[in-house]
Amino acid sequence: MDQNTIDEGKTIAIISYITLIGTLVAYLMNNSKQNEFAKFHIGQALRAWLTGILVTIIAGMLVSITGIEILMYLQYTGLILAILGLINAMNGRMEEIPLVGHIGKKAS
């Protein structure tokens, strides 16, 4: 991927990591442009936010069952993954986020 494509898609990629609504806005912004850099980061942001929602639900259930309230810190998982993706987008890198960045990709 050339530097021009990265520079054109960087703003959309950054927007995608600003909450789940930002991911939707970035998707709509990139719908006509079809920038590959932005598309990659929109997918990574979606994985980060959905993971955060899922882990928060599971952590809430575990806390109510076990009473171990420290498990509620797991609710920050999505935010941490989004911050890691945001750093990659700002630096112009196409690196997958840890743990879930590869989910849903086609095998090549």
- Residue 77, H or E segment: helix 77-90
Residue 79 belongs to a domain: yes
Residue 95 belongs to a domain: no
Q: What is the pLDDT of residue 102?
A: 84
Tell me, rounded to whole angstroms, the distance of Cα 9 from its chain centroid: 15
Residue 97 belongs to a domain: no
Supply the range of the domain harboring residue 70. Answer: 3-90
Residue 105 belongs to a domain: no
Residue 108 belongs to a domain: no
* Structural domains in the chain (count): 1
Q: What is the pLDDT of residue 101?
A: 83
Q: pLDDT by residue (tens digit) across 16-59?
A: 999 999 999 999 999 999 999 999 999 999 999 999 999 999 99
Quote the pTM value: 0.88
Residue 33 belongs to a domain: yes
Q: CA nearest 16: which of 89, 75, 78, 80? A: 89
Residue 102 has phi, psi (to 5 degrees) of -95, -10
